């Protein structure tokens, strides 16, 4: 069986791979953010989010493999640049926690856009849509939590 990520027109493997890539990016971003913040409680929250994102990434990778494709768990170049920018910004900013939280909100918005696009794709299975709907709920909660902390 071919294990490439090439998909047929009726397959949602490519869209599911996009979701996996964003979850890997999210996990890696939160792990990095945990190392940059000075507040131990916030760092622990970031690590917990990273653990949840890792678990979801594993679940999404399994969906791809069930479809007979190979899951790419490497993340995106875009996110690598984004994490580099956070490190640079952290070095330059006196208000690093707000800057990091703002970047977390921005990352959550990108993840939510990816999940929404996956749900709206006509090739996405109902099973996958249900998983993505649950994921959107978690992302929205995280966005609200970070926005409320930044707004304080």
Task: From 98, 22, 105, select the one nearest 56 (Cα to Cα).
Answer: 22
DSSP string, 90-111: HHH-TTHHHHHHHHHHHHHHHH
Tokens of 21: 């890539």
- The alpha carbon dihedral of 82, 103, 112, 22 has a sign of positive
The CA distance from 59 to 50, in Å, is: 14
The CA distance from 18 to 115, in Å, is: 9
Q: Categorize the per-residue pLDDT at 51 as very low, low, confident or very high, splitting at 50, 70 and 90.
A: very high
**Which comes out higher in pLDDT, residue 88 or 66?**
66
pLDDT digits (tens, 9 = 90+) for 71-123: 876 665 565 555 555 555 555 454 677 777 888 888 899 999 999 999 999 88
Q: Which pLDDT score, from 0 to 100, does residue 116 have? A: 94
For 13-151, CATH number? Answer: 1.20.1260.10
The CA distance from 127 to 133, in Å, is: 10
Tokens of 133: 């709907």
pTM over 0.85: no
Task: From 19, 17, 43, select the one nearest 104 (Cα to Cα).
Answer: 43
Domain boundary assignment for the chain: 13-151
């Amino acid at each position: 069986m071919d294990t490439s990520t090439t998909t047929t027109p009726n397959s949602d493997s490519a869209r599911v791979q996009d979701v996996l890539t964003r979850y890997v990016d999210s996990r890696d971003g939160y792990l990095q953010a945990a190392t940059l913040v000075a507040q131990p409680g916030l760092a622990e929250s970031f690590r917990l989010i990273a653990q949840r994102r890792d678990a979801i990434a594993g679940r999404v990778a399994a969906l791809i493999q069930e479809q007979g494709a190979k899951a790419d768990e490497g993340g995106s170049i875009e996110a690598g640049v984004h994490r580099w920018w956070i490190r640079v910004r952290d070095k330059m900013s006196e208000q690093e926690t707000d800057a990091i939280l703002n970047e977390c909100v921005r990352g959550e918005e990108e993840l939510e856009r990816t999940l929404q696009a996956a749900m709206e794709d006509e090739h996405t299975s109902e099973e996958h849509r249900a998983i993505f709907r649950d994921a959107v709920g978690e992302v929205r909660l995280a966005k609200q939590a970070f926005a409320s902390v930044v707004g304080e």
